[in-house]
Amino acid sequence: MFSYRHAFHAGNHADVLKHTVLIATLQHLLQKDAALTVLDTHAGAGLYRLDGDYATTSAESADGILRLVAPATPPALTPALQDYVDMVRAFNQGAVTRVYPGSPFIAQRLLRDQDKLKLFELHPTDARALAGNVAQLEAGRQVAVLPEDGFEGVKKFLPPPARRALVLCDPSYEIKSDYGRVLDLVQDSLKRFATGVYAVWYPIIPRPEAHDLPRRLKTMANKAGKPWLHATLTVKSSKLAAPASENQRRPGLPASGMFLINPPFTLQAALREALPQMAELLAQDRHATHGLEVGG
């Protein structure tokens, strides 16, 4: 049950997509003075060392964030991608990127004094690491670390006092039941707080549940009469040959998506610029592509 560790995947292409969307969404929501509550259902450890044992085992950041920050002559980035790169750089000193901020630290860096951040993490090791990392922020009561099941935990915070919330849901999906639990979470949350912003990350892999998830989220949003946005990033073909030897590294994730209900109206334009550049810069083969749909 507790096998998944995001430290192995920190800074990969899926994080580039997820965190670019997160930053652009928060920047819009924080333009209003009223307090915002951010609920992160699967917060992880919060901060990751890209030169640590976990990250170097898979080295996925080499084909993710490091492609954007490592070149001697960095490419001119679209505004949304530039904001993402600037955020990561803010956690590092000098030209070398050694630290990668997860969604908890990205959100906390953007939040104002009146905003709240609730971080759920069930993995015992990551929950302890998260608590230790957050303690260094000295953020007081603004940030709460909750070592519990985020699928259930968010319920007690919806609706929030100021009636403004962003829920980020990005489980590992290692357990097939996660797909159904994501759908249950979104459906229940919309009943509790219909005007909240709900952002779901998911892997695009050869599994029926993965392809079914965005379709069912779309149906759910349409039935509720809510606008939605669906962004996808593919960096390589999912039809990869099996490893030639036991020592060969397993093929990594080929693609992922972000599905938002009640997205900021500014997000579509930001991603229409950013997604093609992501696909170009992070491509691992000729099958790299992107997608952007909106509705509602």
Question: What residues are labeled active site?
Answer: 170
Record the tokens describing residue 150, joined without a space.
Answer: 């985020």
Annotated binding residue 225: no
Annotated binding residue 246: no
8 Å CB contact between 167 and 43: no
The CA angle 23-267-79, to the nearest 5 degrees, is 60
Residue whose C-alpha is closest to residue 16's, from 64, 80, 78 = 64
Annotated binding residue 177: no
Sequence-distant (≥ 6) Cβ neighbours of residue 139 within 8 angstroms: 108, 117
8 Å CB contact between 118 and 146: yes
What are the phi and psi torsion angles at 106 (to 5°)? Answer: -65, -45
Annotated binding residue 94: no
Annotated binding residue 83: no
Annotated binding residue 121: yes
Q: Which residues of 133-158 are buried (b: 16+ CB within 10 A; e: fewer)?
A: bbeeeeeeebbebbbeebbebbeebb
Location of structure tokens 């915070």? 157
Per the annotation, where are the binding residues for S-adenosyl-L-methionine?
Answer: 19, 42, 103, 121, 149-150, 170
Per the annotation, where are the binding residues?
Answer: 19, 42, 103, 121, 149-150, 170
